[in-house]
Amino acid sequence: MKTQAGIYIGVMSGTSLDGIDVAVVQLGQELKLIGAKCYPIPNETKTAILGLTQPGDNEIERLGKLDIELARLFAAAINHTLHDLNLNRSDILAIGSHGQTIRHRPKTGFSLQAGDPNLIAAQTNIKVIADFRRKDLAYGGEGAPLVPAFHADQFKSSHTSRVILNIGGMSNITVLPTQGEVRGYDTGPGNVLLDAWCYRHRSLPYDQAGAWAASGIYNASLLEKLMSLPFFHETPPKSTGREQFNIEWLEHMLNQSADYQLSPADIQATLLELTARSISDAIISEKHNAPEIYICGGGAHNTALIQRLKQLLEPSSIATTESLGMHPDWVEAAAFAWLAYRALNGLSGNLPSVTGASKETILGGIYQAG
């Protein structure tokens, strides 16, 4: 097979629902980010997504409508990006579309993403690679996280062990030893609970730089209760999502802890500590020297969270992936462009040492343009 090197697009909307990320990437011998942009998700679409992450009425009808709505938003974002970069659609070999995760149930073998790739292909007139997770699930894997394969390809060093920490709605780590197998898994919540609590009490989409959390004092008893969740004590491979970590779960835990008499700021501080501790516990549990930790995802901008991680993970150095040549905001979207490149060239996209799948396999289905 002749290698199809050239320009690919990665598009995704993560569990944080902070926007639709589009990354345009030159792929072949090396990766070059040509351009990237984040597009807002309309509030009514966010509401529809959140409404489907938990069981409810009329789910199939609502999912069908959302599948079309998200595909149109993804296609529009891609078309706008091409226009802004003065690129022709004929310049693009394929789009890697992750879609929007609605339910992720690896223990029962399914993961469902919305955003119909047929419609994206029709409205962009570009070939689309999508449905990346279910092939890994078919071979007994978690179907997630998938991005560690990209981290290993781009960021592994033969001289120094590294950890790549992605803090999106959920957090996941990729452990990159100088020798031996790559490991990676979800550690628990990233921004998801922090954002939800901030919106509930301040009507803001997120806590800017973690300033509100920094104004509070975390409660050790509540933190212990939150960290008693079995997920935190499971051994990898493991993955999670909004099905587990959501505002309803948080309020249930708070209702069981009403005697703590905490202010909203103190609860935000406790949620920040939950994210920081679950991440640091996972990294420390790997029991090997990782002198370099690089952060990507929206959480890279949470100054209070990063400061706390530096305290918990001392003496490891902590920086963002910008130090490795890639802006932290675009790593995940670039990863799905890379997965599209892998699929189109008949190359595997998963790491069994990460997902627990029984074999390496090509990920994603191909949806032709035109």
Query: How many angstroms separate the CA atoms of 257 and 214, rounded?
Result: 22
The answer on whether 267 is annotated among ligand-binding residues is no
The answer on whether 187 is annotated among ligand-binding residues is no
Query: How many angstroms separate the CA atoms of 352 and 347, rounded?
Result: 14
Dihedral of CA atoms 158, 3, 80, 166 in degrees, nearest 10, equals -20
The answer on whether 143 is annotated among ligand-binding residues is no
The residue among 102, 98, 17 whose CA lies nearest residue 55 is: 102
What pairs with residue 261 in β-bridges?
none
The answer on whether 16 is annotated among ligand-binding residues is yes
Q: Are strands 110-114 and 170-176 parallel, antiparallel or unpaired?
A: unpaired
Query: How many angstroms separate the CA atoms of 319 and 317, rounded?
Result: 7
Cβ atoms 270, 220 nearer than 8 A: no
The answer on whether 229 is annotated among ligand-binding residues is no
The answer on whether 329 is annotated among ligand-binding residues is no
The answer on whether 18 is annotated among ligand-binding residues is yes
The answer on whether 15 is annotated among ligand-binding residues is yes
DSSP category for residue 169: S
Radius of gyration of the chain (CA): 20
The residue among 369, 370, 367 whose CA lies nearest residue 99 is: 367
Q: Is the peptide bond before 40 cis (omega within 30 degrees of 0)?
A: no
Binding residues, by number, are 14-21
Residues making up the binding site for ATP: 14-21
